[in-house]
Amino acid sequence: MLAAALALTANHAFAAACGPVYGADGIAVDALGKVWISHYEDIRIGKLDPDSGRFEEYLPAARAEPTLLNRDSWSQTEGFDYGRDFGLYGIALDNNRGLTWSIRFNSDKLMRFSHSDNRFSEIGLPGRIGGRFDLPMDKDGNLWLLAGAADGDSRLMRIAADGSQTAYPLPVRQATNLNVAVDRQGHGWLSLTPKGSPKAALYRFDAKGFSPVKLPDAVGLYLTRLHVDKQGELWFATGNDIWHLRGKVSFERHAVPTANAHPAVLASDEAGNLWFTEWYGNKIGRIAADGKLTEYPLPPEEEMPMALAVDGDGKVWFSAGFNYDLFRLDPADGRIEQFPLPVPGNWSKNAAEGMSACVVKPKDAMTKDLAKIVTLQSPATEQMIHPAAVRHPTGFPEDKGAVVFENNCHTACHTWYRMDKAANRRSDWGPTVDRMIEFNKAAIIPADRDAIVDYLNRHYTMKK
């Protein structure tokens, strides 16, 4: 009975009743400073103008005619073409040809979006495509991706701007943890872990084929991520370290000071700085050209930085877990600005139907329903689905502070779950609420501001 009730609640909630699982899966900045995003929970390519705050959405409509949709013009009658479902992985931006590329979630399909006519094209590859966050592209507009073939092997694929493909068999038939990166000339790097091997392998490739490169003994089972910087030199993350291959001759190791930070996504700027996310460290890191490493903490209520890109002014754009918004870090003073993005009405089926996030991290309506269901169950069942486990708001609705928060701050991003997650890192909510008022223009009167801060500081701060 409880399982049926949970399923019913999740179905009625649809995806809009759940906070996002992750932020943008891909971020890229074009030559005009516009910020493009893709998202694996969401069937859209988005473009943000940081100066005006205008956000445009591009997506395939139900009639298979691509269209530019504004938030107030979306029609539930029209719906969306679920043949192009499951959202998007990663992003690549071809400024010269006006193209944006992404991967259909967990599929063998590439999505190519043309800026000139707002049209989408779908291109099939020989097997499921590997790639997330920033998709490697050379100066000629060729994408370099890994695709699994029907026999279980993977191929390195070069996809031209017109969709034509060239396949390159890998030097190892059976392997895991595959990554690829290329320089502007299309010379690249491949990392993988051969089946049964205790150590990762690295290869350089060009038109002549693959050449093995000996990794330092300290490098273990797999490499997390490869990146080629603006100077054409290789960087990679593994464990809690970032390595730099200088001049294709010597490896230089950079240990991340934060323990168990898990450096993941890498990006570089024109000044020779290497930027990286700390998935568990909740920071953005920078390795300067002189080797100095600096860490920039995320706002205390945020966690799990994900996609990463650097704009022409050297400012760093990133996304975070459980939040659809974009963030911009200014290295000059460490300030982080938040750019609110609309939570989509066009959630993919992957997000809408039965994702664990819709049950484990629900918004309040679902949470309250589940709390009511729990009271009807036996004590044994109650231990499995206790209200505290689904983040029921403390003291709601008896506590007036909880009601004020509900009325003023409750959006798809500011769930009770997010408050609970931030509690272990937060000692004073005042600066956060003030930032929502000042930068995000939240319409909160002074009396409500004080009530919200008081409530959150009583229930959602670090344990003393």
Assess contact for 277 and 322: CB atoms under 8 A. Answer: no
- Report CA 131 to chain centroid distance, whole Å: 12
Three-state DSSP class for residue 206: strand
Which comes out higher in pLDDT, residue 52 or 96?
96
SS3 label, residue 8: helix
Concatenated DSSP letters of 353-413: SS-THHHHSB-HHHHHHHHHHHTTS-HHHHHHS-GGGGTPPTTTTTSHHHHHHHHHH-SSS
Parse the chain into domains and list their residue ranges.
20-349, 356-459
Question: Looking at residue 277, what is its pLDDT?
Answer: 96
The alpha-helical segments, DSSP class H, found in 133-228 are none
- Beta partners for 191? 179, 202
Amino acid letter for position 38: S
333-362 mean pLDDT: 53
Average pLDDT for residues 33-51, to the nearest whole number? 85
Residue type present at position 66: P
- Tokens coding 392: 């029921």
Helix (H, G, I), strand (E, B) or coil at 261: coil
- The pTM of the full predicted model, rounded to 2 decimals, is 0.71
d(CA 83, CA 50): 32
| Position 441 confidence tier, pLDDT thresholds 50, 70, 90 | low
The model's confidence at residue 422, banded by pLDDT at 50, 70 and 90, is low
Mean pLDDT, range 272-278, rounded to an integer: 95
167: phi then psi, degrees, rounded to nearest 5: -110, 140
Burial bucket for residue 146 (CB in 10 Å: 0-12, 13-18, 19+): buried
Lowest average pLDDT, out of 100-109, 268-277, 354-363, goes to 354-363
Closest among 154, 159, 190, 189 to 175, alpha carbons compared: 154
Chain centre distance of CA 296: 18
Picking from 281, 211, 206, 203, the residue whose alpha carbon sits closest to that of residue 242 is: 281
Task: Quick: pLDDT tens for 189-230.
Answer: 999 998 888 899 999 998 788 999 999 999 988 898 999 998
Residue 464: per-residue pLDDT: 54
CB 272 within 8 A of CB 246: no
- At residue 53 the predicted structure's pLDDT band, cuts being 50, 70 and 90, is confident
Choice among 4-18, 195-209, 367-381, 412-426 with the minimum mean pLDDT: 4-18
Residue 349, φ and ψ in degrees, nearest 5: -60, -35
Position 236, amino acid: F
pLDDT band at 415 (very low <50, low <70, confident <90, very high): low
Specify the higher pLDDT residue, 46 or 100: 100
pLDDT of residue 18: 37
β-pair partners for 222: none
- Report the distance separating Cα 24 and Cα 46, nearest Å: 10
Pure H helices in 229-363: 349-352, 357-360
- Residue 33: which pLDDT band, with cuts at 50, 70 and 90? very high
CATH, range 20-349: 2.130.10.10
Q: Which two tokens stand for residue 105?
A: 């979630």
What pLDDT, on the 0 to 100 scale, is given for residue 408? 77
State the DSSP string of 217-255.
Answer: TT--S--SEEEE-TTS-EEEEETTEEEEEETTTEEEEEE
More confident residue, 60 or 254: 254
Q: Which residue's structure tokens are 């994900």?
A: 306
Taking CA 409 as the corner, what is the angle to CA 336 and CA 9, rounded to the nearest 5 degrees? 115
93 contacts 33 by C-beta, under 8 angstroms: no
Band of residue 340 on the pLDDT scale cut at 50, 70, 90: confident
CB 439 within 8 A of CB 389: no
pLDDT attached to residue 305: 93
Residue 444 near residue 456 (C-beta atoms within 8 A):
no
Helix (H, G, I), strand (E, B) or coil at 291: coil
Residue 102 reports pLDDT greater than 60: yes
pLDDT at 397 over 80: no
Backbone dihedral angles phi then psi of residue 65, each to the nearest 5 degrees: -110, 115
The label of the residue with tokens 């206790």 reads 386
Q: pLDDT per residue over 154-196, tens digit each?
A: 889 999 999 999 999 999 888 888 899 998 888 899 999 988 8
Q: Give the confidence band of 292 by pLDDT, cuts at 50, 70, 90.
A: very high
pLDDT at 432: 76
Beta-bridged to residue 100, according to DSSP, are: 93, 113
pLDDT, residue 375, reads 34
What local confidence, expressed as pLDDT, does residue 45 receive?
85
For the record, the structure tokens of 201 come out as 């392998």
